[in-house]
Structure 1
Amino acid sequence: MTMDRRSFLTHVAASGAVIATPRLVRAASDSRVTGAPTVVLIHLFGGNDGLNTVIPYQDPQYRRLRPTIAVPDNQIRKVHGELGFHPSLAGFQSLWERERLAVVNGVGYPQPSYSHFRSTEIWHSGLPDGLPKSGWLGRVIDANPKQRPIRAIALARERPLALQSSRPGVVTLTSFEQFRIPAELEAAAKLYEKQNGAKGALGQVARAGAGALKAAKKIAALKTHRGPPYGALGNRLRQVLALLKADVDLEAIQLGYGGFDTHANQAGSHANLLAQVGSSLSTYQRVLDDLGIADRVLTIVFSEFGRRPGENRSGGTDHGSAGPMFVVGKRVRPGMHGAQPSLDDLDRGNLKYTTDFRAVYGAVAGNFMKVDPKSVSGGIKPLELIG
C-alpha cells in the first residue's frame, strides 16, 4: 500500500481505520527501534550513458564508435587498469579512494526494452516479465517482520513502483511541512494521548495511532540539512540527510535526478550532470561518515537503461541496454564488480548485459537488509557487494 502524506495521516488518525488494520497496532510496539538499515535509491532519469561514465579506455573500439564524444584519454580518471571515470566525476574518484564505492558493470536484464516507461517499470519492479504489482524494494520491506508507522518515503509527487508494498507506511513527500497534523485531526491525536495507558484493544489502538502521529510530527519538525551538497540533486540529498539524522527509522528512501536522455549535444550536458552526481554523493557520504551513521545506510544509483555504444549524428547517443550501477556506503566491498560488456560483441548495435540487476537486488536484500533475498533475486546468485 502506498499513499501520500494526507492519506497517511487520515488513515492513522481515524480510529475505525486503525481498528480495521491490526498491522498498525503491531507497528506501535516497534516504533522505538533505532538504527535500522536504510536503503537510499537514486534513479537517474532518462538513461545514463554508461560508456562515458565508466570508460573502457584501453579498448580501441571505444574511440572508433565515438569519434567526437569519446572522452580524451588524458582527461580520464584512471582508477582501474582498464576502466576509468569521466573527468567530471572527481566525487566518484574521492569515494573510490575512500573505499566507499562499488561499481557494478554491465547491468541489465534479458530481452531489454528501450522504452523509458517499460524499462523503468522493469527496474523498479525487479520483474523482467509480466505486469508488476509490487516493487523490488517494497517486497524487501514486506519481508521484514518488524512494523513501523512510516516504513519508506519517496521524495516525489508520484508513487514510485520500486516502493510499492502490500503493507501500509509508504508515503510521498515534497516538503517536511506537509506532514503537519491538520486541524481536523488534532482531536484524534488528543484522544490517542488520553487513552495511551488503557488496557486491551483500546490501549493498543491508542498507542498505534499515537505512534504514527508522533512519527508524522517528527518529520514535520525537520529542517533540511545545512551546508553542502547543493544543486538539484544535492538539495534532495540534504532532505535525505535530515531524515537519516532524525532517525525516523525508515527502511527506504527514494529520489530521482533527471536529464540523462542525451540524444543530442551530449558532451557538455552529460559532463554537468555527472559533476552534480559525483560531488553530491561524495559530500553526502562524508556527512554520513561524520555523523557516525554510515554503517546503516546504503545508497544505490541506477538508470533505466544505458545508451548505444555508437554515437549518433547529433553528437549524442540513443537508447541502449546495459550500463553501470553504483553502490555507495561504508559497508560496500569497494572496487569493480561484474565484467565490462565487450564492444566487439554487440547485439544489434547494443551492449550485451553481463550482470543481471537481480544479483544486485538480492545482495541488498540478503546482506544489508537481512531478509530472504528470494523475492527479488529471481533465483540468481547475489553478488558479494556488501561486507
Structure 2
Amino acid sequence: MLDCGCPENRSAGVSRRTLFRMAAVGGLTTASTVSGATLAFGAPAGTGTLVVLSLRGGFDGLSAVVPVGDANYAKARPGIQVTASQSLKIDSMFGLNPAMQPLLKLFQNGTMAAVHAVGQADPTRSHFEAMAEMERAAPDSNLRTGWIDRTLGSLGDPGGFAGSQVGSGSMPDSMIGPNAKFAMNSIAGVKLSVGEDLVPLARWRSAMKTLHTGAAPELSAPMTNALGAVGKMSTLNKATSKSVKELGYPETALGNALHDVARLIKADLGLRVATVDYGNWDMHVNLGKATSGAWMYRQLEEMSKALAAFAAELGTEALNRTTLLTLSEFGRRVAENGSGGLDHGHGNVVLALGGGLNKGVHGKWPGLAAGNLVDGDLASTTDYRSIVSEVLKKRVGVDSTTDIFPGYKPKTVGLA
C-alpha cells in the first residue's frame, strides 16, 4: 500500500497541499482503474448481465466437450484422448471431460449448454493477433474500439459499473473506447490507500467539491468517479459474505474473481457486461490423459468448480438474469503432436452458463474426417459474434448489434 505522507495529526482535515500530494503519488484508490468521461453510480437495477470468461492461451474445446461419437477423434489423439467410457455423456455425439463433473447437473437441467465448432471470420494462429481481433470484433473495418465498449455505447448511459473487468486492474481490448467502464483486482481492493480512519471519505468528497467548483466535467469527473467507486465498493465489502472456500469456489484468482462478479450482480449495481480472465491453456506439451493431476484435467477441474460455485452463489433469481460465455482466441489442432500436447488450431467450443438456455450442444458439427478439416483444424461453422449477439439481445437488452459488430449479420444459434 502506498505511503500517503500525511501529517501525524489524525484529527486534521484535508488540506489543499495534502490533497495534491496524495493524488500525485496515486494515494486515492488502489487496485482499480476508471475509464471514461462520466460514471453515473446507481445505474438502473434488474437488467441482465453478460459475463465473458476469457480463456487465454488457446483453449482446446475438443478436450472439454468431447466428440466421442466421432471415430476420427480417438484416431487423432491416441495418447491424450478422453475415451467414451471416461466421458460424462451429454448426447450420442458429445460427452464432458470427467474433470467437469461439477457441471454435469447444470448441463442436464439446462443451466449450461455449449456451442461447438466456433471460430472467427479471419483466423490466425498468433495469440496476440487472434485475441486482439476477437476483442475488437470488427474485421475489415477501421474501428479501433472494442465490442464491449460499443455495447455500452448502444445502451445510452447505463452507469459506471455497467462494464467491469474483475480480477485485474487493466482492461481487455474489448473495453477500449470512450464509454465508461471499471476495472478492479477485487472488491476489497477498491479503497482509499490512506485509510478512512485518517481521512474519511466524506472529507474527500467535501474537499473535491470545493476544489472543483466551476471546473469542467472532464477535470472533475475522474476524482468524483473514483470516490463514488470507493463508496460503493466499501459498502459492498462490509456486507456479510461467506468466503470463497465456504461457497465451494477453488481458492484461486479465478474463484475470487467469479465470487466478486456474483456479489456485483446480486447487489444490483447495474452491471451489464463483466469480464474475467483465466489463462494457462497453451498446452503444447504434456497436456495429459483425462485423469486427476494432468495439466488439462487440473485446469478444467478448477474452472468447473468455480463455475458451479458461481451458479450456486447467484441462486435462481440472479442466475435467470445472467449469462456467462467462455471465449478463447482459438482452439487447438485436432491431432496431438509428438510432445503429448496440441499446437494452435482454430475451431473451438463456447460454454454457456445461466438462466433461459436451451439444453445441449449447439452448432453444426462438421466432423473430424480428414476431408472435413481445414489445414488440420476443426472447421468453424459458427461465428462467435452470432453467439454474443444472441446473448446481448436476449439478456443484456441490446436492440441491434449492427454498430457493435459492423458489417456482420448474426445467424440464429438457438442458445438462449
Shorter-chain TM-score bucket reads 0.7 to 0.9
Report 1:24-63 matches (<5 A).
Answer: 24=39, 27=40, 31=42, 33-63=44-74
TM-score between the two structures when normalised by the length of structure 1? 0.84
CA deviation digits over 1:79-133, x for unaligned, max 9? 1111111111112312111211120111102331101111111121222345652
Counterpart Cα distance in 2 of 1:257 and 1:101: 19
Aligned partner of 1:366 in structure 2 is: 393
Change (3 A) 1:150 1:358: same
Indicate yes or no: 2:275 matched with 1:254.
yes
Corresponding residue number in structure 1 for 2:86: 75
Q: Distance in 2 between matches of 1:271 and 1:193?
A: 54
Counterpart-to-counterpart distance in 2, 1:301 and 1:260:
13
Q: Which position in structure 2 is the counterpart of 1:15? A: none
How far does residue 165 in structure 1 lie from its aligned partner after superposition? 3.3
Q: Which amino acid aligns with 2:351?
A: F
Which of the residues 94, 118, 121 maps onto 1:107?
118
Summarize the alignment of residues 2-41 of structure 1 with structure 2, pairs less than 5 Å apart: 6=29, 23-24=38-39, 27=40, 31=42, 33-41=44-52
Aligned counterpart, 1:355: 382
Match of 2:168 in 1: 156
Q: Secondary structure at the match of 1:262?
A: coil
Seq. identity, %: 27
The answer (yes or no) to whether the contact 2:109–2:359 under 8 Å persists in 1 is no
Quick check: 1:222 aligned with 2:231? no
Distance 1:209 1:217, change over 3 A: same
Q: CA deviation at 1:373?
A: 1.5
Find the structure with the greater CA-based Rg: 2
SS at the partner of 1:374? coil
Do structure 1's residue 325 and structure 2's residue 318 form an aligned pair?
no
Aligned partner of 2:291 in structure 1 is none
- 1:173-218 CA deviation, whole Å, 9 max, x = no partner? 1133432246688545126789xxxxx999xx99998787344312
Distance 2:377 2:188 in 1: 46
Q: 1:276 deviation in Å? A: 1.3
Q: Is the alpha carbon distance of 1:91 and 1:385 closer, same or farther for their aligned partners in structure 2, counting shifts above 3 Å?
A: farther
What is the deviation of 1:364?
A: 2.0
User: In structure 2, how many angstroms separate the alpha carbons of the residues matched to 1:364 and 1:311?
Assistant: 33
Mapped partners of 2:52, 2:376: distance in 1:
30
1:197 matched residue in structure 2 = none
CA distance in 2, matches of 1:82, 1:41: 27
Q: 1:189 aligns with which of 181, 195, 205?
A: 205
* Residue in structure 1 matched with residue 17 of structure 2 by the alignment: none
1:271 to 290, 293, 297: 297
Q: CA deviation at 1:71?
A: 1.1
The 8 Å contact of residues 106 and 352 in structure 1, kept in 2 or not, is answered as yes
Equivalents in 1 of 2:344, 2:102: separation in Å? 26
CA offsets 1:31-67 (integer angstroms, 9 cap, x no match): 2521122211111111111111111112111111111
Map of 2:16 onto structure 1: none
Q: How far does residue 300 in structure 1 lie from its aligned partner after superposition?
A: 1.0
Cα separation, partners in 2 of 1:9 and 1:110, compared to 1, 3 Å: closer
Structure 2 Cα separation of the partners of residues 349 and 64 of structure 1:
13
TM-score for the superposition, normalised by structure 2: 0.78
Say whether 1:336 aligns with 2:340. no
Q: 1:61, 1:247 → 2: CA distance? A: 48
- Give CA deviations for 1:319-366 in whole Å, capped at 9, x if unaligned: 000100011101222322101232121122112100011101211222
Structural RMSD (CA)? 3.3
Q: Which secondary structure state, in structure 2, belongs to the residue aligned with residue 375 of structure 1?
A: coil
Structure 2 residue 332 is the aligned partner of structure 1 residue 307: yes
- For 1:231, give the aligned amino acid: E
Structure 1 gaps, min length 5: 13-17, 195-199
| Runs (5+) with no aligned partner, structure 2 | 1-27, 289-293
- Equivalent residues of 1:215, 1:248 under 8 A apart: no
CA distance in 2, matches of 1:147, 1:376: 16
CA shift in 2, pair 1:151/1:272, >3 Å: same
Q: 1:92 aligns with which of 83, 100, 103?
A: 103
Q: Is 1:375 matched up with 2:377?
A: no
SS of residue matched to 2:236: coil
1:152 to partner: Cα distance: 1.9
Helix, strand or coil at the partner of 2:391: helix
Whether 1:165 aligns to 2:177 is: yes
Counterpart in the other structure of 1:284: 310
Question: How far did 1:257 drift?
Answer: 1.1
**CA–CA separation in structure 2 for the residues paired with 1:235 and 1:8:** 14
**Alignment-derived partner of residue 12 in structure 2:** none
| Aligned partner of residue 231 in structure 1, secondary structure | coil
Q: How many residues align?
A: 365
Q: In structure 1, how many angstroms separate the alpha carbons of the residues matched to 2:32 and 2:118?
A: 39
8 A contact 1:176–1:221 mirrored in 2:
no
Instruction: Tell me: CA distance 1:375–1:279, structure 2 relative to 1, closer, same or farther (3 Å).
Output: same
Q: Which segment drifts farther, 38-47 or 246-255? A: 246-255
Q: 1:294 aligns with which of 319, 333, 338?
A: 319
Please tell me whether the aligned partners of residues 94 and 282 of structure 1 are also in contact (alpha carbons under 8 angstroms). Answer: no
